[in-house]
Amino acid sequence: MTRVPHLQALAERVFARLAPRRGEGSVARYIPALAAIDPARFALAIAHVDGRTGMAGDHDIAFSIQSVSKVFTLALALEKAGVEVWSRVGSEPSGTPFNSIVQLEKEHGIPRNPFINAGAIAVTDLLLASEGPDTAIAAILTFLQRASASTGPFIDQEIAASEAATGSRNASLAHFMKSFGTLSCAVDDALNVYFHQCAASMTCGELARAGLFLANKGVDPLTGERLVSEQTCHTILSLMLTCGHYDASGDFALRVGMPGKSGVGGGILAIMPGVASIAVWSPGLNANGNSLVGTLALEALAQETGWSIFR
- Which residues are known to be catalytic? 67, 70, 194, 246, 264
Q: Is 21 exposed, middle or buried (0-12, 13-18, 19+ CB in 10 A)?
A: middle
Judged by CB under 8 A, the stretch of 61-69, 146-154, 174-182, 192-200 that binds a copy of itself is 174-182
Helical segments of 149-285, H only: 157-165, 168-180, 187-198, 204-210, 230-243, 249-256
Contact 183, 177 (CB under 8 A): yes
273 near a copy of itself, judged by CB under 8 A:
yes
309 near a copy of itself, judged by CB under 8 A:
yes
The span from the first CA to the last CA of the chain, in angstroms, equals 9
Nearer to a copy of itself, 252 or 281 (CB): 252
- Could you say which residues in the range 73-112 bind a copy of itself, by CB under 8 A? 90-96, 100-106, 112
* In the complex, minimum distance from the CB of residue 165 to a copy of itself, in angstroms, rounded to a whole number: 12
Considering only 25, 221, 259, 284, the residue that binds a copy of itself (CB under 8 A) is: 259
Number of helices (H) and strands (E), helices first, in the chain? 14, 8
Give the DSSP letter of residue 48.
E
- Could you say which residues in the range 25-44 bind a copy of itself, by CB under 8 A? none
Give the DSSP letter of residue 33.
H
Closest CA to 261 of 54, 277, 276, 274: 277
Contact 297, 306 (CB under 8 A): no
218 near a copy of itself, judged by CB under 8 A:
no
* In the complex, minimum distance from the CB of residue 63 to a copy of itself, in angstroms, rounded to a whole number: 25
R_g of the chain, CA atoms, integer Å:
18
* In the complex, minimum distance from the CB of residue 102 to a copy of itself, in angstroms, rounded to a whole number: 5
- Report the distance separating Cα 206 and Cα 197, nearest Å: 16
Nearer to a copy of itself, 91 or 145 (CB): 91
Ramachandran angles phi, psi of 141, nearest 5°? -60, -45
Judged by CB under 8 A, the stretch of 54-62, 135-143, 242-250, 276-284 that binds a copy of itself is 242-250
- Could you say which residues in the range 47-66 bind a copy of itself, by CB under 8 A? none
* In the complex, minimum distance from the CB of residue 1 to a copy of itself, in angstroms, rounded to a whole number: 6
The 119-158 contact track toward a copy of itself, x by CB under 8 A, reads ----------------------------------------
Contact 127, 136 (CB under 8 A): yes
Contact 224, 217 (CB under 8 A): no
* In the complex, minimum distance from the CB of residue 101 to a copy of itself, in angstroms, rounded to a whole number: 5
Element (H, E) at 77: helix 69-81
The 219-238 contact track toward a copy of itself, x by CB under 8 A, reads --------------xxx-xx
Burial of 84-98, coded b for 16+ CB within 10 Å and e otherwise, reads ebeebbbeebbebeb
Tell me, rounded to whole angstroms, the distance of Cα 36 from its chain centroid: 21
Judged by CB under 8 A, the stretch of 3-11, 15-23, 172-180, 219-227 that binds a copy of itself is 172-180
Binding site for a copy of itself (CB under 8 A): 1, 90-96, 100-106, 112-113, 168-169, 171-176, 178-179, 187, 217, 233-235, 237-239, 241-243, 247-251, 253-254, 257, 259, 273-274, 308-311
